[in-house]
Amino acid sequence: MSTRRVLSPWHELRDLRSRADGLVADLTAARAESKAGAAAYAELAADRDRLAADRDRLAADRDRLADLLAAIDDAGPPVVVHDLIAVADNLVDLTDDEAIADPAAAAAFARWITQRVGTMISHCEVTWVADEGPFDPARHEAVASRPAPDAGHQGRIAETVRPGYLWRDQIVRPQQVVVYAAPEGNEPA
């Protein structure tokens, strides 16, 4: 008997074993790809569910906002309209009665109109600002300057000419101020 014949089944067995190992490796890779595909599918399904929930939430928000807009339309004119009408009526009365000739009546009217305008401004979510301290060009408008009493006051607000106005923390009009300049005798040559 030849050695060759005896070794041949061992070679075949080794080849079969090698092919089996390759198939096992392919099967393992296919399982890994399948798991990755299942994970990707699960992630996509979760994204789909999140998007559906977002869509439902946005639809509810849209409906709520539509209801709010309808309620606003049903509420009539803003409160400030009634205040403006009262101011207009009093201006007409002032000119009809010639109350301007009476200084006390004119002063009382000026106080009243100042208070009413302040009320109207607050109804519009506007607040007034009268800062003190350092001049800030982002919040203040310098309308004049005066010599500082000393170098420590230079660049600070000396006086408010007109208050500034903010609407929801946004500047509508900057505060108009007088700013301290260099003290007299300290100006650069």
How is domain 125-189 classified at the CATH fold level?
A: Nucleotide Exchange Factor Grpe; Chain A, domain 2 (2.30.22)
Phi, then psi, of 133 in degrees rounded to 5: 105, -145
pLDDT in tens, 121-169: 888 888 889 999 999 999 999 999 999 999 999 999 999 999 999 988 8
Q: What is the pTM of this model?
A: 0.50
**Residue 155 neighbours by CB distance under 10 Å:** 15
Where are the chain's structural domains? 1-76, 77-124, 125-189
132-to-49, 52, 137, 144, 153 alpha-carbon distances in Å: 55, 53, 13, 16, 11
According to DSSP, the β-strands at 140-147 and 175-181 are parallel
What the block records as the tokens of 142 is 């310098």
